[in-house]
């Protein structure tokens, strides 16, 4: 029940934030749409720990700020790499360590969001990554991103 209410509030807040219109009609559509989505999610059982990972929500804002800064840095390095024509691609595997499935998906998507690196395949316990340069590969292999995700991926006991 608590997950249903939380999902409804998240969806409604997102609706209101993205619509930018606060007339009774639009707010009513938001309430109806959010309620319908929660009802559909309950019918197909998708707001479990994987579909609505509440344990990630507390540390997520700090991680997103850190990730945005990493994206800025990676953009700059990718631009330099392209203009210098110093591309030396590599394909490698990275161990994810102990993460939930939601944490693993967050890790894979974070690597892909960072310019110059792409997650090619997710496997239990690891990822297959493509990087434009050895420096970008070393950055992923350093596991700084994985450590941050493992830190916020802890489920409360």
- Inter-residue contact 144 to 114 (CB < 8 Å): no
pLDDT of residue 89: 94
pLDDT of residue 36: 96
What are phi and psi for residue 7, nearest 5 degrees? -60, -45
pTM given for the model = 0.71
Q: Please indicate, yes or no, whether residues 60 and 100 belong to a single structural domain of this protein.
A: yes
pLDDT in tens, 1-50: 777 888 899 899 999 999 988 999 999 999 999 999 999 988 887 766 66
Count: domains in the chain: 2
Q: Please indicate, yes or no, whether residues 23 and 75 belong to a single structural domain of this protein.
A: no
pLDDT of residue 157: 44
Structural domain including 131 reads 55-152
Q: Please indicate, yes or no, whether residues 88 and 145 belong to a single structural domain of this protein.
A: yes
50 part of a folded domain = no
Q: Please indicate, yes or no, whether residues 62 and 131 belong to a single structural domain of this protein.
A: yes
CA-wise closest residue to 116 among 104, 129, 106: 129
64 part of a folded domain = yes
What are phi and psi for residue 128, nearest 5 degrees? -105, 120
pLDDT of residue 48: 64
pLDDT of residue 6: 85
What are phi and psi for residue 119, nearest 5 degrees? -85, 120
**16, 128, 135, 152 from 110: Cα distances, Å:** 26, 13, 17, 14
Q: Please indicate, yes or no, whether residues 31 and 105 belong to a single structural domain of this protein.
A: no
pLDDT of residue 152: 86
Q: Please indicate, yes or no, whether residues 8 and 66 belong to a single structural domain of this protein.
A: no
Q: Please indicate, yes or no, whether residues 108 and 64 belong to a single structural domain of this protein.
A: yes
Look at 118 and 99; give whichever has higher pLDDT: 118
Look at 52 and 35; give whichever has higher pLDDT: 35
């Amino acid at each position: 029940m608590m997950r249903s209410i939380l999902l409804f509030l998240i969806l409604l807040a997102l609706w209101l934030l993205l619509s930018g219109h606060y007339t009774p009609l639009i707010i009513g559509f938001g309430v109806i749409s959010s309620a319908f989505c929660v009802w559909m999610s309950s019918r197909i059982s998708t707001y479990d720990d994987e579909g609505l990972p509440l344990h990630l929500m507390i540390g997520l804002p700090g991680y997103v700020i850190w990730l945005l800064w990493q994206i800025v840095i990676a953009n700059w390095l990718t631009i330099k790499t392209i203009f210098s024509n110093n591309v030396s691609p590599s394909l490698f595997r990275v161990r994810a360590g102990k993460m939930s499935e939601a944490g693993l998906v967050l890790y894979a998507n974070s690597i892909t969001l960072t310019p110059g690196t792409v997650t090619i395949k997710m496997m239990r316990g690891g990822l297959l990554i493509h990087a434009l340069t050895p420096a970008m590969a070393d950055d992923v292999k350093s596991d700084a991103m994985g450590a941050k995700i493992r830190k916020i991926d802890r489920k409360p006991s």
